[in-house]
Structure 1
Amino acid sequence: MSSPHTAPSAPSHTAPYYFVPGPSRWPLAGGLSMLVTMAGAAGWVNGTGWGPGVCIAGILAMLLVLYFWFGDAIGESESGQYGERIDLSYRWSMSWFIFSEVMFFGAFFGALFYARAVSMPWLSDLDHKIIWPDFAGHWGNTGPAGTVEQFNVMGPFPIPTINTALLLTSGVTLTIAHHALRAGHRARSALFLFATILLGAIFMGFQAFEYHHAYTELNLKLTSGIYGSTFFMLTGFHGFHVTLGAIMLSVILYRVLRGHFTPENHFGFEGAAWYWHFVDVVWLGLYIVVYWL
């Protein structure tokens, strides 16, 4: 039996040309758990008493499904069922998934651009001054006729800049961990992978503090006009993706410690690293557009 800190021996048989798994209960279970989650969420936002409980139960059920489903995939990989074709399929799948995430954030960045570059100048031109004479066309305004409570905008110092340094550093530590795994230095890879996860956790702690500061001291809320909605949607969804990335890397760290992956075969590590670097790039754009401009 291989040591938890050494790579497992290569499988004794050759992987099939293309592995086709047998029937699985997990797609059906995942679909039902998502249905329960959305039904609970609909009830929650409509003020029903059963909504929160049903929504949380659906989320927990989905997490349980993912745990067993991914466990099956890991078992198939470690048993030598995955060959070059499956590896290529995973790479294409992860690439398209990240592309969908690019489109997801592109929608929010597009909304921010439209509000700042189109709506603000349009609503503050001479024709619209007749309707809203007191409307200020600057970014972070209180809306037509002061329909939004007064608030202060969020600047780049100090927390956003600290968080930028944290994420950039985490990208470096993850790259070091990847190169260490490729060189067969499992302990070094695990150490720098743990450092990456820790930096992500510190990032989320600072963001939670920033949100508390925004609500309690700046009166900046999700309801603070287009500025508040775009600010919290962009930074909030990014924080959610950092959390997901940290969970993915935690699973990879566990697998590294268990002796999974080899210097030649470790796409699970690479896929999680792709995702983390994508999150880093999104933050750089967000840091410039949201906090500086």
Structure 2
Amino acid sequence: MSVQTRNEQYYVPEPSAWPFMMTVSMIVMLGGFAAVLNGSDGIGAYAMAAGLAMVLVMSFVWFRGVIRENRSGAYGAQEDMTFRWAMSWFIFSEVMFFGAFFGALFYARVLSVPWLAGEGTEFTTNEFLWKGFEASWPTNGPAEVGGQFEIIPPWGVPFLNTILLLTSGVTLTIAHWGLKEGSRLKLNLGLAATVALGLAFLFFQAEEYIHAYQDLNLTLSSGIYGSTFFMLTGFHGMHVTLGTIMLIVILGRCLKGHFSEHDHFGFEAVAWYWHFVDVVWLGLFVFVYIL
């Protein structure tokens, strides 16, 4: 079947075992991670490491096949539209994902903590539950779960990371312009700069976490503030990690001469994802660090 004929008909790939294997890999990885969080010694860490290695191998093998399909001319206008809608819905699901966590932060900070202090209630049940507790933020709750802690000032590493991510959005846009203009130099340099900025962000976030645990006693166990802080910033860091890996893959493809001015949705999908990560960080910086 010729490429032209295949483009006129919707391409349906052959059945593949990779989605099932990826599911198994993620179950092993997340199961091990859950065991580590619950204090498992040894087996949890090994399962998490093995699962992560399986996920990386499955990702490489699976997406290598997708790239080969794309390079062979198997995808046409219909497939391109499907990919765009799929990526759009995926990003929408990520919006809902982070929306739930921001909602948890709002509930704890604006509703739950004041209620425990007796605000906005008709009955003084707080006097029997937590007598003398005063609503404030940050807080580890009336029981002072995890002990006293200090917060991370927003105008240090968090502000630096904000600058890094915003700059990475600019360099990625420059790379996109280079691709549309047919300038491989601008494309590759812009992408390389974006990757470097993403790695720098992750480095400084790791330093911030180490400082929080070792010097500030700010941990996952630091009551409601610690749990919401690490839940939001940790999941965002995971998304930055995934985005950086995707950018590295796209950079490798660009260096090999993949994509053209009119056929580069793989690049655009990663760019959409990265800009989404930038926007989420702005919300985190404002509502977690500043306010």
Shift, 1:52, TM fit: 2.7
Question: Is 1:40–1:55's contact at 8 Å kept on the other side of the alignment?
Answer: yes
Q: Match for residue 188 of structure 2?
A: 190
Unaligned regions of 5+ residues in structure 1, if any? 1-10
Aligned to 1:19, which of 11, 18, 26? Answer: 11
Which residue of structure 1 aligns with residue 284 of structure 2?
286
* Inter-partner Cα distance in structure 2 for 1:257 and 1:145: 56
Equivalent AA in structure 2 for residue 146 of structure 1: E
**CA RMSD across the alignment:** 1.8
Match of 1:90 in 2: 83
Distance change (3 Å), C-alpha of 1:48 and 1:272: same
Q: CA deviation at 1:54?
A: 2.9
| Structure 1 residues 39 and 196: CA distance shift in structure 2, 3 A | closer
CA 1:215–1:190: 2 relative to 1, 3 Å:
same
Decide whether the 8 Å contact of 2:140 with 2:226 is kept in 1: no
Aligned to 1:113, the other structure's residue is in SS state helix
One-letter amino acid matched to 1:113: F
Higher deviation after alignment, 117-126 or 253-262: 117-126
Which residue of structure 1 lines up, in the alignment, with residue 26 of structure 2? 34
Percent identical? 55
Distance (whole Å) between structure 2 residues aligned to residue 290 and residue 185 of structure 1: 40
- 2:265 — aligned with what? 267
Deviates more, 1:206-215 or 1:246-255: 206-215
Gaps of 5+ in 2: none
Distance 1:207 1:201 in 2: 10
Question: What TM-score, normalized to structure 2?
Answer: 0.92
Partner of 1:244: 242
Paired residue type of 1:65 = M
Distance in 2 of aligned mates of 1:71 and 1:79: 12
TM-score by length of 1: 0.91
| Mapping 1:112-131, distance limit 5 Å | 112-125=105-118, 127=124, 128-131=126-129
Deviations along 1:49-74, one digit per CA (max 9) or x if unpaired, are: 43332332222112111111100000
8 Å contact from structure 1 (residues 154, 214) kept in 2:
yes
User: Following the alignment from structure 1 to structure 2, what is the Cα–Cα distance between the partners of residues 43 and 156?
Assistant: 32
Change (3 A) 1:160 1:54: closer
Instruction: Give the 3-state SS of the residue equivalent to 1:261 in structure 2.
Output: coil
For residues 130-172 of structure 1, give each alpha carbon's deviation from its aligned partner in whole angstroms, at most 9, with x where no partner exists.
4322312101224214344011122211111111111111101
Distance 1:18 1:145, change over 3 A: closer
Does the residue aligned with 2:129 lie in a helix, a strand or coil? coil
Counterparts of 1:38 and 1:243 in 2: how far apart (Å)? 16
Give, in angstroms, the shift of residue 34 of structure 1: 2.9
For 1:89, give the aligned amino acid: T
Change (3 A) 1:160 1:48: closer
| Number of equivalent positions | 283
- What amino acid is the match of 2:72? S
Distance 1:247 1:147, change over 3 A: closer
Aligned position for 1:7:
none
Moved more, 103-112 or 126-135: 126-135
> Per-residue deviation at 1:121?
1.2
Partner of 1:146: helix, strand, or coil? coil
